[in-house]
Chain A
Amino acid sequence: MKRFLAKRLIASTVIMWFATVLVFSLSRAAGDPTYLFISEYTTDEVIAEWRKEFGLDRPYPIQYITWLWPAIRGDFGASLNEARPAFDVVIQKVPATLQLAAVSFAFAIAVGIPIGALSAVRRGSWWDLIGRVIALIGQATPNFWMGIMLVLLFSVQFELLPTSGRGGVDHYVLPAITLGSGSAAGLVRLTRSAMLEMLDSEFVKFARAKGVSGETVVWKHAFRNSLIVPITYAGLILAGFTTGTVVVETVFGWPGLGRLAVTATNDNDFPVMSATVLLFTLMYIIVNFVVDVSYAIIDPRIRRA
């Protein structure tokens, strides 16, 4: 287990390092990076000072270190758009994104797993049909369009829910459904097939033959064991949320990291964007690390791989 942890930790660090190299290389890819870091409305003296400080005439590895070293401690330079450090702008948006992700995750689990299980147990019933429709819609519908259509239906037509922004519980409903729908669809499919496999397995048949009642076999024996599959999918769900939050937060004007990434891109605010990317990558890596380690705890075979 220790070896496994060490290996995963090294792999995570390498990915993080790769992300910093990627961001740095992109910043130099188009030539002179001065205006990526400094507003064009700055005076010539300030620009000259900045260029001297960052040593644009020195070799790239040195420039990389000059950029990376402050960045590790949270200094990405000043935002080009707001008169404060880029990191402050970014870190302020984290809670909103995490809250939305948590609610969406809960929604995906609460819808996906029960419906997936029920559609396997009652094959060909209404539950199965609902499961199929969710799987179909959730997988093929682009998030941004689903969000707009939900607004059209529930905010414009029925005037039930707010169109955008962050506020009370009602503000979470539409964004969470939009963000969670793809994952819910995946969970329905996975839980359904895992459950069908379990219901067909020898130990379930044995339990039935022994005379255990139908309901107990289904929920205590088959369902519990088939839960492993959707749990292993949880990591992929959270990873998928990084793309999802960017789109969903933009549609619903949710003041989180994803929307910040888009506004920073539109404003060409490189310091803010580089901080956002690295922070997102860090969260992404932490999630994957935690998920990997928890599989290893659940399933000892993974530790040896």
Chain B
Amino acid sequence: MTTAPIEVELPRLNGNGRSVPSQVWYVIRRYPVLPAVVLVAVAFAAVFGPLLTTYDPQFGDLSAQVTPPFWNEGGSTAHLLGTDALGRDIVARLLYGARLSLTIAGIVLVTGGATGTLLGMIAGYFSGWIDEAIMRFVDLTLGVPFILVALVAVIVFGASLELIIILLVIFSWSGFARQVRAETIRLKEMDYIAYAILSGASTIRIFGRHILPGVFNTVLVIATLQVGSLIIAESSLSFLGVGIPAPRPAWGVMVADGRNFVSIAYWIALFPGLAIFLLSYALNFIGDWTRDRLDPRLRQI
């Protein structure tokens, strides 16, 4: 007796046995899709910003002061998100501001990350008094309220782009140093490091070839977790008028510009703040995700 193949009407399935909408939902839940979209958009604005607008971010059109966004009465599509008190186009300033924010965050992360990683590796690898000295210095920098030291530095040197970068580097390196040190201490006990020493590898080679790749994930995770707070720290200082000096279109400065007009022109303060929020939300989310993927042991920080 032969069994006839039973034909059943199957719902349309794809490879993984899920329907299309549920698979889309699965991807959104599993990967940071929305934060990635935000990040790509900001990065795109940072790179191509000047091509996307014809307005100058620093010089306004005084005949178009405080124009509302296009959906409000009195607004026009010439200035999609309106203009500020000096007639500067908000969209143009946001685009140029994205470049400023990301450049600063990038420089600070690379410099602070490299310094912290190097000092962390040295502290962890050599232990002894070098370790003590470096780690006590980390404790000291974390023990003093950062923002106030930043304010004193501004009195002495005056606000400038260079100063804020230096201050943020000082603020960021210690986090790297702590975690990299812990990771290096774990790695240096491993057999392959002992073999490398036995076969006569120089200390520099051990650092570069054997320890650095091992701590790289940790460094990446700390970096992604730190960017969000760096962006907020930078914009806070700029908001207080001690960060990036006006008239550069820093988002923090833009919020400060809008503060006194909040009752008559909400858009001046609203949009730059929204941009900071979205960017730092996206970075935090991607940071958490990277950590869970690469190094779940760092979850407590």
Write the residues of chain A forming the contact surface with B, with a CB cutoff of 8 angstroms.
11, 14-15, 18-19, 22-23, 26-27, 29-30, 36, 136, 139-146, 148-149, 151-152, 156, 239, 242-243, 246-247, 250-251, 261-262, 264-266, 268-270, 273-274, 276-277, 280-281, 284-285, 288
Contact = CB atoms under 8 A, between A and B. Distances in A.
Interface string B151-173: 11111110000000000000000
Interface stretch (B9-17, B116-124, B182-190, B228-236): B228-236
A15 B152 contact: no
Contacts of A265: 151-152, 154-155, 240, 242
Given A15-B139, A27-B156, A247-B236, A277 B273 contact: no
Contact of B145 (A141, A242, A250): A242
A143 B236 contact: yes
B133 interface: no
A243 B242 contact: no
B230 to A, nearest CB: 12
B72 to A, nearest CB: 14
Question: Which of B139, B149, B258, B272: most chain A Cβ within 10 A?
Answer: B149
Question: Which of A19, A26, A142, A274: most chain B Cβ within 10 A?
Answer: A142
Interface stretch (B19-27, B53-61, B87-95, B277-285): B277-285
Given A262-B240, A266-B241, A281 B255 contact: no
B259 interface: yes
B239 A247 contact: yes
B262 interface: yes
B149 A22 contact: yes
B278 to A, nearest CB: 8
Nearest to B273: A145
| Contact-residue bracket for chain B | 35 or more
Interface in B238-275: 239-242, 252, 255-256, 258-259, 262-263, 266, 269-270, 272-273
Contacts of B241: 262, 266
Contacts of B139: 11, 15
A148 B145 contact: no
A15 B151 CA distance: 19
Interface in B115-157: 136, 139-140, 143-149, 151-157
B66 interface: no
A243 B239 contact: no
Contacts of A144: 235-236, 239-240, 252, 255-256, 273
Q: Chain A binding site: helix, strand, loop or mixed by DSSP?
A: helix
B255 A148 contact: yes
Given A148-B262, A246-B240, A266-B241, A274 B277 contact: no
Contacts of A148: 255, 258-259, 262, 269, 273
B276 interface: yes
User: What 6 A-B pairs have minimum CB-CB distances, sorted nearest first?
Assistant: A145-B273, A140-B281, A15-B143, A242-B145, A277-B148, A265-B151
Nearest to A148: B269
B267 to A, nearest CB: 11
Given A144-B255, A247-B236, A152 B262 contact: yes
B273 A140 contact: no
B143 A288 contact: yes
A207 to B, nearest CB: 27
A140 B242 CA distance: 21
Contacts of A11: 139
Question: Which of B144, B146, B151: most chain A Cβ within 10 A?
Answer: B144
Question: Which of B240, B242, B262: most chain A Cβ within 10 A?
Answer: B240
18 contacts: A15-B143, A18-B140, A22-B144, A26-B153, A30-B157, A136-B281, A142-B273, A144-B240, A144-B256, A145-B276, A149-B269, A261-B151, A262-B151, A265-B240, A268-B155, A269-B155, A281-B145, A284-B143
A139 B283 CA distance: 11
Contacts of A276: 148
Contacts of A142: 232, 235-236, 239, 252, 255, 273, 276-277, 280
